[in-house]
C-alpha cells in the first residue's frame, strides 16, 4: 500500500472510531472468539460509558459474505485470515491491512 492508500485507510479507521464514540461500534467476530471479544468489549465500555459494542458472532465465511454484501461492520475478527484479506482487495484504501496477533491466551 502506498502512502496515499495508508492515509485513506487511517482516515477510514478514524471515522469508524468517531462513529463508534457517538453510538454503536459494530463487531463481526468468529464464534470461537466469543470469550476474548466480549472481555475486550467490557474493558472498552468501562473506559467510555457512552460506547455500545454490538456483536455479531458466527462462521467467519458467512460473516465475510455479509460484509461483502454491504452490511456495515467496524471490526471483522475472523478465525481464517483469508476472509478479511479477500475483503481488503476490492476496496483497497478503505480498510486497514489485516493483522495477525502474535500471541493468543485462552
pLDDT at residue number 57: 95
Asked whether 92 and 4 are in contact (CB, 8 A), the reply is no
Higher pLDDT, 14 or 38: 38
CA–CA separation, 45 and 30 (whole Å): 20
Average pLDDT of the chain to the nearest whole number: 74
Question: Count of CB atoms within 10 A of residue 64's CB?
Answer: 21
The CATH architecture one would assign to domain 25-88 is 3-Layer(aba) Sandwich (3.40)
Percentage of the chain exceeding pLDDT 90? 38
Which tens digits make up the pLDDT trace of 32-59? 999 999 999 999 889 988 888 999 999 9
2-17 mean pLDDT: 46
* Annotated domain spans of the chain: 25-88
pTM of the shown model:
0.62
Amino acid at each position: 500500500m502506498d502512502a496515499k492508500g495508508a492515509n485513506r485507510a487511517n482516515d477510514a479507521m478514524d471515522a469508524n472510531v468517531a462513529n463508534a464514540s457517538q453510538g454503536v461500534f459494530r463487531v463481526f467476530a468468529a464464534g470461537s472468539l466469543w470469550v476474548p471479544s466480549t472481555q475486550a468489549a467490557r474493558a472498552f465500555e468501562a473506559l467510555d460509558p457512552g460506547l455500545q459494542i454490538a456483536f455479531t458472532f458466527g462462521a467467519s465465511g458467512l460473516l465475510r459474505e455479509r460484509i461483502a454484501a454491504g452490511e456495515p461492520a467496524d471490526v471483522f475478527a475472523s478465525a481464517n485470515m483469508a476472509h478479511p484479506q479477500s475483503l481488503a482487495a476490492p476496496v483497497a484504501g478503505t480498510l486497514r491491512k489485516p493483522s495477525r496477533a502474535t500471541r493468543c491466551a485462552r
